[in-house]
Amino acid sequence: MKVFQCLSQSRGRGCLRILMLLLGVTTLSGCQVLQSIDKGLYDVAEAVTETDRVTGQRALSTANRNQQIALGNQYVDKLLQDEQKQGRKVDSALDTRQYRRLVRIFDRIHPISHLRQERWKPVLIDRDSFNAFTTGGTYIVVHLGLMKQLNDAEVAAVVGHEIAHTVANHVAERQTHQQLSGLTSSSAVRRKGYQAAFTHEREREADRIGILYSALAGFDPYAASRIWQRQYQQQGNARSLFAHDHPVNAERSAEAKAVADKVKQYYRAGKVNPQAHALLDNNTLWQKRSNRHAESAGEGGGVAAILSTAVGVMAEHQQAKQEEYRQAQQAQFVRSVQQSMRLEEQRWLNDRSWQTRWHYTGNLKLHSVVMGIIARDSQGKTYRFVGHHKGVLTPGQRFNVSFMLNKNMTLNQLERMQTQYYLDDALPVR
């Protein structure tokens, strides 16, 4: 659907025109010439695209895999050198038990992934934060803090998600996209919100692929959904605070659950699905296209290749713009509702938690209301706490929200900080 929408819009035609001009096809005619033009187009399509490993469709990319690996690994090698210089341990030397655990989980997910033929290596680094990443090469870097917070199935979900970023070529896609943004006249591409939205769509895709990997490798496919549900309880959605390059926690959890509902049929607890490899190409989430161009080079295949690439690029562009708009609308809504939240009272319940009383003076019924507080210490470091209001909030209603301190913070510390309440999230009842 989106594809057709996209082509009918002037920007879509503009993009095709640019491609045609670049290729110099405007002044030529005749069957032979057309054939060679088509061959030329096919070659160009081959040069600037690659076949998506997951769907079999063409995706824009100018980097080849070996270059990607060299570049991506260079980054991680440098990181590891820096860790050593700063006296930080990595892998087994850092935490033997956690590193073994990471390797054991990795060794079940990677062999059923689309990149199983590549030699990959998980790396454990000394950070407390909840994070893991890939750089397009053959490393997956995991923070020790993340390992400590997650159970095996949850770590598997993260490992699957990270491999999926490389499988779906996200690192190279972003680079190509950034190069292209210099060529297009569209100012949208350069906006922060657009860039976040572009990344946002890739995060959703990596979640989907990662959850399928989990199911095929015998890890509970609902684990991803649970991670984001817990993050939501602890950190809310921060919808009003900034442009999101990941889906906000509640939506991410719900989407992960919907994907798990679809792939749970492939899940055999603790066992790799014997059909895993076949299922990668053909499953309830996607069917890989095998015959990607019915016509071959010189017989219309070139035009088809360029068209399908241009259409794909424009669809992605359109999708990112829609997501940027959706996020901006929602953030604007939450900020406007925040004007009608009046703090009436706050009191400590014990030395770890406190309660606030609010009066909602707006005129829309709301649900999924999350109140937040930002605390800033003397070094400028910020901490966020959230409290959830359950059920529907009606106009004029007074309501209580409780907050709890993080494990490693004391009441004394909080009282010495600058604090400010904000509305973290609210959705209108429709």
How many Å separate Cα 368 from the centre of its chain?
22
Least distance from C-beta 199 to Zn ion, angstroms?
8
Least distance from C-beta 206 to Zn ion, angstroms?
5
When the beta carbons of 221 and 300 are compared against Zn ion, the nearer one is 221
Binding residues with Zn ion: total (CB under 5 A)? 2
Q: Copy the structure tokens of residue 218.
A: 């015998």
Round to whole Å and give the CA distance between 234 and 239: 14
Q: Copy the structure tokens of residue 323.
A: 């997501």
Chain residues 373-392 in contact with Zn ion, contact rule CB under 5 A: none
Cα 121–Cα 123–Cα 124 angle in degrees, nearest 5: 155
Round to whole Å and give the CA distance between 53 and 292: 12
Chain residues 181-220 in contact with Zn ion, contact rule CB under 5 A: 203, 206
When the beta carbons of 25 and 227 are compared against Zn ion, the nearer one is 227
Instruction: Specify burial of residue 130 (Cβ count, 10 A radius: 0-12, 13-18, 19+).
Output: middle
Least distance from C-beta 1 to Zn ion, angstroms?
26
Chain residues 61-90 in contact with Zn ion, contact rule CB under 5 A: none
Cα 335–Cα 340–Cα 344 angle in degrees, nearest 5: 120
Choose among 24, 129, 132: nearest CA to 76: 132
When the beta carbons of 252 and 317 are compared against Zn ion, the nearer one is 252
Least distance from C-beta 161 to Zn ion, angstroms?
6
Return the bridge partners of 347, or none. 355
Least distance from C-beta 20 to Zn ion, angstroms?
35
Strand, coil or helix: 411: helix
When the beta carbons of 5 and 131 are compared against Zn ion, the nearer one is 131
Q: Copy the structure tokens of residue 137.
A: 């090469």
When the beta carbons of 135 and 229 are compared against Zn ion, the nearer one is 135
Choose among 194, 196, 138, 127: nearest CA to 162: 138
When the beta carbons of 224 and 401 are compared against Zn ion, the nearer one is 224
- Please report, as a single letter, which amino acid is at residue 289: R
Least distance from C-beta 338 to Zn ion, angstroms?
29
Chain residues 116-155 in contact with Zn ion, contact rule CB under 5 A: none
When the beta carbons of 206 and 238 are compared against Zn ion, the nearer one is 206
Least distance from C-beta 318 to Zn ion, angstroms?
22
Residues that bind Zn ion (CB under 5 A): 203, 206
